[in-house]
Chains A and B, each alone.
Chain A
Amino acid sequence: MTTRRELFKFAGGSAMGLLLTPAPWRLITDTALWSENWPGIPRPARGEIRAKFTHCGLCAAGCAVRARCVGEQPVSLAGVEGGLCPFGVTGHHLPYHPERLKEGNRQEAAAAMAAAAMAAAVSHSTPERRVAVLDLRPGRTASWTYRRAMAAIPNGCYLAPEEPACAVNLAAAATVLSLGAPLLDGWGRLSRVFAARPNFRLIQAEAVESRTAALADQWLAVQPGTETVLGRAVAGQIGTQQAAEVTGLAAEQIEQVARALRENGPALIVAPEMTSEVLAWNLPLGGWGKTVLPRREAPVPGNWGKAAPVTDWATLKDGSLGALLIDESVPGAHLPWATIQPKLAADAVVVAFAWSRAGYARHATHVLPTAVYPEALGDLPAAIDATAAEFRLTVPLVAAPGGMTDPVELVSAMAGLDAKDALHERAAAIYAAGRGSLRTYADGKSTAVKELKPDDFWKGLNAGGSWTGGPENCGPAPKLKEAAWPEEDTGALWPFRLATEQPGAATLVAPLMAKLSQESRLRLAPHSAAMHPRDGFEEGARLVLETPYGRCPIVAALDESVPPGVVLVADGPEIADIRSADGRARVVRI
Chain B
Amino acid sequence: MRRNVFIFAGVLAGLGAGWAGFPRAIYTSRPEPVDFSHKVHADKAGAKCEDCHGFRDDGSFAGIPTLEKCAGCHAAPMGATAAEKHFIDNYVTPGREPQWLSYARQPENVYFSHITHVKRAQLKCEQCHGNEGTADHLRPFEQDRVSGYSRDIWGGQGRPGMRMADCVDCHRRSAVRGSAQAGERSCLDCHQ
Contact = CB atoms under 8 A, between A and B. Distances in A.
Interface of A: 2, 6-7, 9-24, 26-27, 29-31, 33-34, 36-37, 43-44, 46, 49-51, 68, 75-76, 89, 442-443
B142 to A, nearest CB: 13
Contacts of A7: 6
A14 B61 contact: no
A46 B56 CA distance: 18
A16 B10 contact: yes
Contacts of B22: 21-23, 26
Nearest to B62: A48
A12 B59 contact: no
Nearest to A50: B60
Contacts of A22: 18-19, 22
B18 A17 contact: yes
B30 to A, nearest CB: 18
Contacts of B7: 9-10, 12-13, 16
A27 B22 CA distance: 10
B26 A11 contact: no
Nearest to A53: B58
B188 interface: yes
Interface-centre pick from B14, B15, B56 (highest chain A CB count, 10 A): B14
B35 interface: no
Given A17-B10, A76-B192, A443 B57 contact: yes
B56 A50 contact: yes
B111 to A, nearest CB: 7
B60 A51 contact: yes
Given A21-B19, A21-B22, A49-B61, A9 B146 contact: no
A433 to B, nearest CB: 29
B107 A36 contact: yes
Interface of B: 3, 6-19, 22, 26, 56-61, 107-109, 111, 144, 146-149, 188, 192
A76 B17 CA distance: 44
B185 to A, nearest CB: 14
Contact of A51 (B10, B12, B15, B58): B58
Interface-centre pick from A23, A24, A43, A89 (highest chain B CB count, 10 A): A23
B110 to A, nearest CB: 10
A13 B8 CA distance: 6
A362 B7 CA distance: 75
Interface-centre pick from A14, A24, A33, A75 (highest chain B CB count, 10 A): A14
B62 to A, nearest CB: 9
B171 to A, nearest CB: 18
A418 to B, nearest CB: 35
Nearest to B113: A68
A50 B61 CA distance: 9
Contact of A17 (B12, B146, B148): B12
A472 B16 CA distance: 81
Contacts of B58: 50-51, 442
A16 B111 contact: no
A29 B6 CA distance: 30
Contacts of A46: 108
A12 B10 CA distance: 7
Interface-centre pick from A31, A33, A443 (highest chain B CB count, 10 A): A33
A14 B192 contact: no
Contact of A15 (B12, B14, B146): B14
Given A442-B58, A443-B57, A20 B18 contact: yes
B146 A27 contact: yes
Given A30-B26, A46-B108, A75-B111, A17 B6 contact: no
A109 B120 CA distance: 55
A20 B14 contact: yes
A13 B11 contact: yes
Contacts of B144: 30, 33
A24 B26 CA distance: 12
29 contacts: A10-B7, A13-B11, A14-B11, A14-B17, A16-B7, A17-B10, A17-B12, A18-B18, A20-B18, A21-B15, A21-B17, A21-B18, A23-B18, A26-B22, A29-B147, A30-B26, A33-B147, A33-B149, A34-B146, A34-B148, A36-B107, A37-B148, A44-B109, A49-B60, A49-B111, A50-B58, A68-B192, A76-B192, A443-B57
A14 to B, nearest CB: 4
Nearest to B3: A9
Given A17-B18, A23-B22, A6 B147 contact: no
A80 to B, nearest CB: 11
A30 B188 contact: no
Contacts of A26: 22, 26
Contacts of A30: 26, 144, 146-147
A11 B9 CA distance: 9
A408 B162 CA distance: 50
Contacts of A2: 6
A13 B19 contact: no
A21 B13 CA distance: 11
Contacts of B57: 442-443
A266 B192 CA distance: 43
